[in-house]
Amino acid sequence: MANAANAQMLGCFMPFHRCFDNAIHIAAGPRLRAHFQTIMDLQGHDEETGSAKITRGYRLRSKFVLHTVGPIVPRGAAPNQNDHSALARGYTSCLNLAAETGLVRSVAFCGISTGVFGFPKEPAARTAVATMLEWLRQNAGKMDHVMFNAFDVVSTSHYLELPRN
């Protein structure tokens, strides 16, 4: 499972917020935040956009969680090429990290950056699927399943309408 994280990697700071990051941290339990506090203290700086970390899933059904920081697109603005590149790096970083472990053979992605980070959902879906397909072509046999878990019907339609070859 992949998480759309903030740069502090400590979960959402708004209680009861409906973002995916908050849902992951609540479901995983307090040990996830404590684990990340240790990691981030040792790292000494915020996580860079497009990079990824992996943790245990703690109380989640998923054994592992991949956490990536996506680009922030101001509301109403169109994402530029740097935004698309950063988003693609986030997906690629997660897939690379999952493959490196040798333990993760399937990944479920949320719409990274499409919530409070403001990346428009349709272009984000295009970038996500294109990145995933390219990664699978370049890394044949390293992943059994990659799926996208959309938040709503409109978001789901963006993924279903895209070519899968």
Domain ranges of the chain: 2-160
Alpha-carbon gap, residue 35 to 162, rounded angstroms: 37
Domain 2-160 CATH superfamily: Leucine Aminopeptidase, subunit E, domain 1 (3.40.220.10)
Q: Measure the CA angle with vertex 16, ends 106 and 53; round to 5°.
A: 35
* Non-local CB neighbours of 159 within 8 Å, separated by 6+ positions: 125, 128, 129, 148, 150
Give the per-residue pLDDT at 81.
97
- Average the pLDDT over 153-163 and give the result: 84
- Average the pLDDT over 34-44 and give the result: 95
3-state SS assignment for residue 28: helix
Give this prediction's pTM. Answer: 0.93
- Average the pLDDT over 76-86 and give the result: 96
Give the per-residue pLDDT at 155.
84
- Average the pLDDT over 69-74 and give the result: 96
- Is 107 within 8 Å of 146 (Cβ atoms)? yes
Minimum mean pLDDT range among 12-16, 38-42, 51-55, 60-64 = 12-16
Band of pLDDT at residue 157, cut at 50, 70 and 90: confident
- Average the pLDDT over 86-106 and give the result: 97
Query: Is 151's pLDDT higher than 80?
Result: no
